[in-house]
Amino acid sequence: MTITQTCSYPLVLASTSPFRKEILNRLHLPFETFAPNVDETALPDELPAILVVRLAELKARAAQINYPQALIIGSDQVAVIDDTILGKPGSHEQAVKQLSAASGKQVDFLTGLCLFNTHTGKTQVDIVRFSVTFRHLTAQQIENYLLKEKPYNCSGSFKSEGLGIVLLERMMGSDPTAVIGLPLIRLVQMLEAEGIAII
């Protein structure tokens, strides 16, 4: 397999997420990471889809001062159940609440994606949806899962790429990497539009 990069700009991932970094590594492209200092608080009455697109672009643009000639990837994700945003639980107790609420229900993961060319000012922005349906979970199953995987920094309190897959009944969407937080299928299309050929 030959990798050709026709664009000379460096590629930057504006995220400190180890999950997004791991996903981007799949493309075998050299890239740097940048920690964007962005307030992720939702605006009053802001819809989840608008929120993730806005934050993805804000994260990408936050790196512009450090990378005046680069392609910068920004991404943001929320999990939504019954029109309520599930953030990162941060604690065992909150994770129990989230998984209890998700038991037997569909959870929609909305991922905002932005590719920002800081040299030309061009931005490509999109949103990718991926849905999962949870099995009916007992309190003991939830406890057992959380104690084994400790997904306290993950939206929705589970990792589909890990043991969290056993919590699910069904997955629905065009790109399984979207549920992890960086939809590679759409990103590849954006990169190709900027002159980067992956294969």
Classify burial at 172, counting beta carbons within 10 Å of its beta carbon; exposed 0-12, middle 13-18, buried 19 or more.
exposed
**Average pLDDT rounded to a whole number, residues 64-85:** 93
**Average pLDDT rounded to a whole number, residues 92-114:** 96
pLDDT at 36: 94
Is the model's pLDDT at 4 over the cut of 50? Answer: no
Confidence band of 60 (pLDDT split at 50, 70, 90): very high
**Average pLDDT rounded to a whole number, residues 25-36:** 95
Is the model's pLDDT at 2 over the cut of 70? Answer: no
DSSP string, 123-173: EEEEEEEEEEEE----HHHHHHHHHHH--TTSGGG--TTTGGGGGEEEEES
Domain boundaries, the chain: 4-197
- Using a pLDDT cut of 70, give the percent of the chain over it: 96
pLDDT at 154: 86
pLDDT at 7: 57
pLDDT at 194: 94
Contact 178, 110 (CB under 8 A): no
- From CA 93, how far away is CA 90, in angstroms rounded? 9
Confidence band of 197 (pLDDT split at 50, 70, 90): confident
**pTM of the prediction?**
0.88
- Using a pLDDT cut of 90, give the percent of the chain over it: 79
Is the model's pLDDT at 1 over the cut of 80? Answer: no
148-179 pLDDT, tens digit per residue, is: 999 998 888 988 888 999 999 999 999 999 99
User: Among 55, 38, 36, 37, which residue's Cα sits nearest to residue 46?
Assistant: 55
pLDDT at 3: 41
**Average pLDDT rounded to a whole number, residues 63-85:** 93
Q: What is the token pair recorded at 42?
A: 């939702």
- Specify the 3-state DSSP secondary structure of 40: coil
- From CA 158, how far away is CA 165, in angstroms rounded? 8
- From CA 109, how far away is CA 80, in angstroms rounded? 6
Considering the chain, what is the average pLDDT of its residues?
92
Contact 172, 132 (CB under 8 A): yes
Q: Spot the catalytic one: 76, 82, 126, 175.
A: 76
Which CATH architecture describes the domain 4-197? Answer: Alpha-Beta Complex (3.90)
**Average pLDDT rounded to a whole number, residues 53-67:** 96
Contact 196, 29 (CB under 8 A): yes
Confidence band of 26 (pLDDT split at 50, 70, 90): very high
Classify burial at 186, counting beta carbons within 10 Å of its beta carbon; exposed 0-12, middle 13-18, buried 19 or more.
buried
Is-catalytic flag, 45?
no
- From CA 16, how far away is CA 22, in angstroms rounded? 11
Alpha helix stretches (DSSP H) within the chain: 18-24, 48-62, 92-102, 139-149, 184-193
Determine the Cα angle at 22 with ends 17 and 28, to 5°: 135
